[in-house]
Amino acid sequence: MDAFKLRIGTPEDDRFVARCFYQMWRDIGLAPAELLAPDVAEARVLEFLARGRAELQLATVIANDAASAELERHVGCAVCQRHALYPDILQPSARGYGYIWGVYVDAARRGAGLGARLTRACMDHLRAVGCTHAVLNAAPLARGLYERLGFTANNEMRVALT
């Protein structure tokens, strides 16, 4: 039996997604002082998710522990949406980009392939809504996972302004 069940999330799952997104930043080393207060951060994520569903074909993917006695024990999530960084003047077949973010797996469940499954589910959603490419920003420890899934480094360039 599969240890984890994946499903498309609903707005009722959004508080869980918001908590995971906050914890993801903590796990990659940001101090609490570098983040907004948890309740403010949650409100912003909830607003972003609602707007993304309405405007960018955003979907959340929720992973549940199939072996849990609880009806649904959430153990991970990921979010994907159409990528809207600038005005879109290109034909979708030429460059229909999607963005994957907030891939998070509970620390006790890491190493079992769940991050890869969540990412693949996001890729499937993006493909289904017409995206031709998927983009994400990987934490250093996750780069190998995404490279195994076929992601390559792109031409993003960055400079510190402070």
CB 98 within 8 A of CB 51: no
Q: What is the pLDDT along the chain (162 residues), one digit of tens a residue?
A: 478 999 999 999 999 999 999 999 999 999 999 999 999 999 999 999 999 999 999 999 999 987 665 556 899 999 999 988 788 788 877 788 899 999 999 999 999 999 999 999 999 999 999 999 999 999 888 999 999 999 998 777 788 788
Q: Which residues pair with 99 in a beta bridge?
A: 81, 135
Residue 87 domain flag: yes
71 class by beta-carbon count within 10 Å (0-12 exposed, 13-18 middle, 19+ buried): exposed
The whole model's pTM is what?
0.90
Q: Are strands 74-82 and 133-135 parallel, antiparallel or unpaired?
A: unpaired
Residue 78 domain flag: yes
Residue 154 domain flag: no
Residue 64 domain flag: yes
Q: Please report the pLDDT score of residue 72 as a whole number.
A: 65
How many structural domains compose the chain? 1
Residue 156 domain flag: no
Q: Which residues contact 79 (CB under 8 A, 6 or more apart)?
A: 17, 21, 49, 52, 58, 59, 60, 61, 100, 101, 102, 122
Q: Please report the pLDDT score of residue 1 as a whole number.
A: 46
Residue 162 domain flag: no
Give the single-character DSSP code of 113.
S
* CATH code, domain carrying 133: 3.40.630.30
Q: For residues 112 and 115, what is the distance between their CA atoms, to the nearest angstrom?
A: 8
CB 76 within 8 A of CB 17: no
Residue 155 domain flag: no
Residue 158 domain flag: no
Full residue range of the structural domain in which residue 37 is found = 4-148
